[in-house]
Amino acid sequence: MRKVPPFHLAIPVKDLKSAREFYTDTLHFKEGRSSDHWVDYDFFGHQLVIHLDQNEHLASTKNPVDGKNVPVPHFGVVLPWDIFQSFADQLKQKEIEFEIEPYTRFKGRTGEQMTMFFFDPSGNALEFKAFKDPDQLFAS
């Protein structure tokens, strides 16, 4: 897999305590720096920052992809195949309520990948995926 520099992503959360429990205890992301308004996380080698924002947010919409209704907007990371499998198993054991259960998308076609979607307590949609052939990440 190619080396890329870490990215930084900041997202709003309505309640810092419940978001912190979700990202720390449910997803097992390692916590970094924090204050009473934000928390840094190690997001598979990238920096995810949850920021307290109690304002109302626009509802997400859904777009059809491979016969599923994909929530938009969403964010996530592309994981190695084996890490995706173990992370999906961990989430199932935690009884995560999936918006789209882990499954293989585009099976036998260019861009074959495993993917799953779920929401955090603030309604942020997360997608995690893994490509069977990582070189097909940008294949058309």
Cα-based angle 139, 131, 7 (whole degrees, multiple of 5): 85
Judged against a pLDDT cut of 80, whether residue 133 lies above it is answered with yes
CA 47 – CA 3 distance, rounded (Å) = 16
Q: Domain map of the chain by residue range? A: 8-54+62-136
CB 53 within 8 Å of CB 16: no
pTM: 0.91
- DSSP string across 32-74: EEE-SSEEEEEETTEEEEEEE--S--PPPEEEEETTEEEEES-
Task: State phi, psi for 11 to the nearest 5 degrees.
Answer: -130, 150
- Confidence at residue 56, expressed as pLDDT on a 0 to 100 scale: 75
| pLDDT, mean over the chain | 93
- Confidence at residue 58, expressed as pLDDT on a 0 to 100 scale: 67
- Tell me what the mean pLDDT of segment 18-32 comes to: 97
- Tell me how far CA of residue 54 lies from CA of 14, 18, 137, in angstroms: 5, 13, 36
Fold (topology level) of 8-54+62-136: 2,3-Dihydroxybiphenyl 1,2-Dioxygenase; domain 1 (3.10.180)
Give CA torsion, residues 113, 116, 67, 140, to 10 deg: -30
pLDDT digits (tens, 9 = 90+) for 79-132: 999 999 999 999 999 999 999 999 999 999 999 999 999 999 999 999 999 999
CA 49 – CA 127 distance, rounded (Å) = 17
